Structure 1
């Protein structure tokens, strides 16, 4: 009975973590560029009560083993980088990536991070920055007296300056991909950092092979499917309940054993 109590307790812990992950997905359903996660589990070691070896007493081999599992454990959280819905905003500094790729930004400590959030702004120095004030890399400075900003699907940035008849090229947006984007480390603020699992960043231009194009005036929303997450939440809740029922059942059996001598 003690085995059942421990196994059920591990199941309850696993499902609690599952609910935590689902809750985070639902909390970020309106977060620009957010990528949903799903927790993955593995079964634990098994107790071998009877192996499938040849039984000398009966003269034949047992076709199967007698094993009792000892529960499950969370092994990782897999982040899905499927593209979310793209919505039109009409803002010339809103950018969505139509395909693979990330924008690269520079952090305050000089390191780099990567994001799918293309809601850009212009800071007091004229540089294109994220909502958090981080400069995109390579840096793009917007001149004074600009009447319009155009960003092509290939990432070329041109502006019309008051008093001039021809557009002026001021920069080129670059994108970054990874061999294993699911291995990136989420650090909050719609940012990801490189890890050994993700591999080193691969740089390229929008619309090149392996890189998506840039869509001006659009934003990529979260890829969270609310209906599916609600289903997942119900399944996790029921799994938690049935594990708690296992605890109660094991406790009742222990109580029966304790009362046998009365």
Structure 2
């Protein structure tokens, strides 16, 4: 019964982690380029209570029959992120860019390292540098001239400016994408950014539209891939599992009360 209490408590804790994760998914249903995640669970170690022999006797140390094993519950062990393509919505903003297919934009962090994102909601800062919503510049360091009349971004990531006055086209640079062998191994660091890890592997770089890489679309943004209906179903499942584990705690407590009352 003491084992049942601890097992049920661990089950409640695991389901709480699941609810926390679902809440985060739902909170980011409107976040540009957000990728939903799920919690992976793992059963804990099993205790060999007894092993049955062919002759019918019970031996705790050896035996040829099936073992009597009691588990010790479950725990949350990993967050699995789903990088399925989100819907692409037209915004009309010339500096909004969506990736249709595989790949990540690269932005430069304050410490000089590179972070990766699917959020293509770009703008220009006071110096004309193309930056994300957090003010971090693209790794390709694209600077927009102050006298540019219009900006064009091709599907291959080439950025050109139409200059005012002479109507000439000036190439400003190219947006390069990064791709990982195991994108699910990336570490989420907030602000729609991910960092490379040993699990993700080293990044591969290429221009948008290259083999294995998605193209970019100017004037569009990729929306969150959170499915509200699916998240609500998962929330109900987690809630029911939590309630069931809490009832198991009550049942174990009732059984302990009955056992304690036998001597009276």
Q: TM-score range by the shorter chain?
A: over 0.9
CA root-mean-square deviation: 1.5
CA distance in 2 between counterparts of 1:53 and 1:105 reads 64
Confirm whether residue 155 of structure 1 aligns to residue 145 of structure 2.
no
**Alignment map for 1:28-107 (pairs within 5 Å):** 28-51=28-51, 54-55=54-55, 61-62=64-65, 64-107=66-109
What's the counterpart of residue 239 of structure 2? 237
Evaluate the alpha carbon distance shift between residue 126 and residue 252 of structure 1 in structure 2; reply closer, same or farther with a 3 A threshold. same
1:112: Cα distance to partner?
1.1
Write the deviation string for residues 15-66 of structure 1: whole angstroms up to 9, x where unpaired. 11110000000011000111111000010111112336544759x953x332
CA distance in 1 between counterparts of 2:104 and 2:146 reads 28
CA distance in 1 between counterparts of 2:212 and 2:52 reads 50
**Alignment map for 1:120-139 (pairs within 5 Å):** 120-139=122-141
1:164: Cα distance to partner?
2.0
CA distance in 1 between counterparts of 2:165 and 2:208 reads 31
TM-score by length of 2: 0.95
What's the counterpart of residue 208 of structure 2? 206
Q: Secondary structure at the match of 2:78?
A: strand
CA distance in 1 between counterparts of 2:5 and 2:253 reads 8
Confirm whether residue 196 of structure 1 aligns to residue 223 of structure 2.
no
Evaluate the alpha carbon distance shift between residue 87 and residue 53 of structure 1 in structure 2; reply closer, same or farther with a 3 A threshold. farther
Write the deviation string for residues 97-123 of structure 1: whole angstroms up to 9, x where unpaired. 000100100111111111100000011
Name structure 2 gaps, 5 residues minimum.
none
Evaluate the alpha carbon distance shift between residue 255 and residue 36 of structure 1 in structure 2; reply closer, same or farther with a 3 A threshold. same
Q: Secondary structure at the match of 1:51?
A: strand
Name structure 1 gaps, 5 residues minimum.
none
| Alignment size in residue pairs | 260
CA distance in 2 between counterparts of 1:89 and 1:132 reads 19
CA distance in 2 between counterparts of 1:253 and 1:61 reads 33
Out of 236, 256, 259, the position equivalent to 1:257 is: 259
What's the counterpart of residue 182 of structure 1? 184
Evaluate the alpha carbon distance shift between residue 149 and residue 240 of structure 1 in structure 2; reply closer, same or farther with a 3 A threshold. same
CA distance in 1 between counterparts of 2:142 and 2:151 reads 12
Does structure 1 retain, via aligned residues, the 8 Å contact 2:30–2:223? yes
Evaluate the alpha carbon distance shift between residue 257 and residue 54 of structure 1 in structure 2; reply closer, same or farther with a 3 A threshold. same
TM-score by length of 1: 0.96
Does structure 2 retain, via aligned residues, the 8 Å contact 1:55–1:61? no
